[in-house]
Amino acid sequence: MTRLSVNINKVATLRNARGGNAPNVVKVALDCESFGADGITVHPRPDERHIRQSDVYDLRPLLRTEFNIEGHPTPEFIDLVLKVKPQQVTLVPDSPTQLTSNAGWDTKTHLNFLSEVLDEFNNAGIRTSVFVSTDLEMIEYAAKAGADRVELYTEPYATAYLKEKEAAVAPFVEAAKVVRSLGLGLNAGHDLSLVNLNYFYQNIPWLDEVSIGHALICDALYLGLERTIQEYKNCLR
């Protein structure tokens, strides 16, 4: 079964726009779990423009499903993850000024750095995932660095899907086969939606997890959060 992890960053963005605590990030996360989400993802950034470090600490003792913290492995991020000890940490190559994650790691160039960071998390008993493109060499070097999983960056798929879905998914299927041959787990995320998720899943049914935030929260404005989560779960069946 492919698990659905709901990224709640956009909920925190809405809260931060007015200050205060509405919407309540912790309550939304717990509601997502009760509505069927298999996990919660957060991406704390240095400027705390959405998820704050305090949110991460508030969420950890209350979540009943899998907690995934993603981000760029700065010293502050590494310290946070080691203190909180989520079930999974996902490393992304964001700079502090990036609006959103928009590229995978060059795992060959950063092999030594990633190896050191991954060793630290693996030794702490935290499952590790590295955000990568479909470039097969980047996947191979993620394995060499010691990652437990990779997360495929799926924006190129989502962009091309509306034009020619067979061509859009083809490089992801090839990459997913290489991931499996290397003995790595497989996650995917970025711009997956109710429009394109089921086709992606049909072609790569051995996906371990998808992490979805922006599209899911947008859909929830129209459908409601509970129905939206169920619709996304239906795409993974």
Active-site residue, 70 included: yes
> Is the CB of residue 161 less than 8 Å from the CB of residue 195?
yes
How far does CA 146 lie from the centroid of its chain?
18
Cα 74 from Cα 190, distance rounded (Å): 22
Tell me the Cα Rg of the chain. 17
- Give the Å distances, CA to CA, from 97 to 15, 52, 122, 191, 212: 20, 16, 28, 20, 21
Active-site residue, 43 included: yes
Cα 129 from Cα 119, distance rounded (Å): 12
Residue with tokens 């924006």: 155
Cα 136 from Cα 157, distance rounded (Å): 16
Instruction: Identify the active-site residue in 33, 50, 66, 70.
Output: 70
Q: 47 by DSSP, 3-state: which?
A: coil
Cα 207 from Cα 1, distance rounded (Å): 8
DSSP secondary structure code for residue 9 in this structure: H
Instruction: Identify the active-site residue in 33, 50, 190, 209.
Output: 190
Instruction: Identify the active-site residue in 43, 66, 140, 209.
Output: 43
What residues act catalytically?
A: 43, 70, 190
